[in-house]
Amino acid sequence: MNPEGYNGPFDKDTIETKSPSINPLLTEGDFIQEGQPLGLRSLPIWLWIVLATMVMSLIWGSMNWYQGVMQQEKKAEPFLDVTNREFSVFLWQFPSFLRANALKKTAYLPGFQTTKETLVLNEADNFVSAPPDLLFLYHTWSRLLASESNLRPINPKEFSDFLNQVEEWQPKFWKKAPKEYVQLIDNKEYEQTQNLQTLSVSQLPVLVRQAFQGWKNYYQEGPQINALAPTIAQVQAFLESHPHYKRNFWRNIQQVAGQEVVRSDYLYLLTQAAFNPEEAFPTDQLAPFLKVAMFNAAQVNKDKIKLADPNPLSLNITAQ
């Protein structure tokens, strides 16, 4: 109660409560922040697109710059101055090192296809990116064996098959191809030649001949080469004509890029004092590249050597 005569804030004996006011319903606008948002979320989408494009351009430019630097360094270093095209000819002689046959393909011979034995066409004439020990094996092959190839006859039908399967040897994918070779292929002049080995080197470069023979060995003659069973005398005769296949050149090159090149007992039998030259040579002492070379030599000479030739020094290599 209020005392008499007291005029306070309350003029009644009891305090009256006012009924609560009814708040109006919230509208969509009440949920919109009117303050300026902070951070990267404030950037418009077109600016994001521009930034992403710039980043991608920087990455692409850096990669091209790096490739350019590497190409310049390789030009200055003869050991690295090997193109994918040149390297591919070597790999036909050592096919276990092809990228398609490798167990670990990541970053290994990126100029070669993963599922096929051929090159990435737009990288065919770039410098090869290969493990150093494999490059060393290439140079060993190039120095010792490349010039000793026993090049066999090439008929036009097989050569057409070769060009269709190994496309990097088509002139449109070989910018530095000799003009005579371009004319030979584009005009199909080779189809009128019974044996392409009779053509001049300017018309059919040695590199193409070697590539063709490697392709034929790999795709058509593998079973025959694997079944090769020469006698000791036949191996001796071949080594006399092709001395760079002898044991002393290869005994220290056993493992390359994690793969076997030759066994430690490569041609070991020939170091012994006594053996029967008419017996079969132990196949586990013959490296695959030696068997390929002996097979090709036998094919070159097959018209000159009779299969029943009693002379054990002939190159009459038989397959069993």
Paired strand residues for 242: none
CA terminus-to-terminus distance, the chain: 130
Pull the structure tokens for residue 74: 């390789």
Q: pLDDT in tens for each of the 320 residues of the chain?
A: 545 555 555 454 544 555 555 555 656 555 455 555 545 556 677 777 877 788 887 776 666 655 565 555 555 577 889 999 999 999 999 999 999 999 889 999 999 999 999 999 999 999 999 999 999 999 999 999 999 878 899 999 999 999 999 999 999 999 999 999 999 999 999 999 999 999 999 999 999 999 999 999 999 999 999 999 999 999 999 999 999 999 999 999 999 988 999 999 999 999 998 999 999 999 999 999 999 999 999 998 874 553 334 343 334 444 43
Give the burial class of 172: count Cβ atoms within 10 A of its Cβ; 0-12 exposed, 13-18 middle, 19 or more buried.
Answer: exposed
Q: What is the 3-state secondary structure (H, E, C) of 73-114?
A: HHHHCHHHCCEHHHHHHHHHHCHHHCHHHCCCCCCCCCCECC
- Residue 280 has phi, psi (to 5 degrees) of -70, 140
CA–CA distance, 272 with 265 (Å, rounded to integer): 12
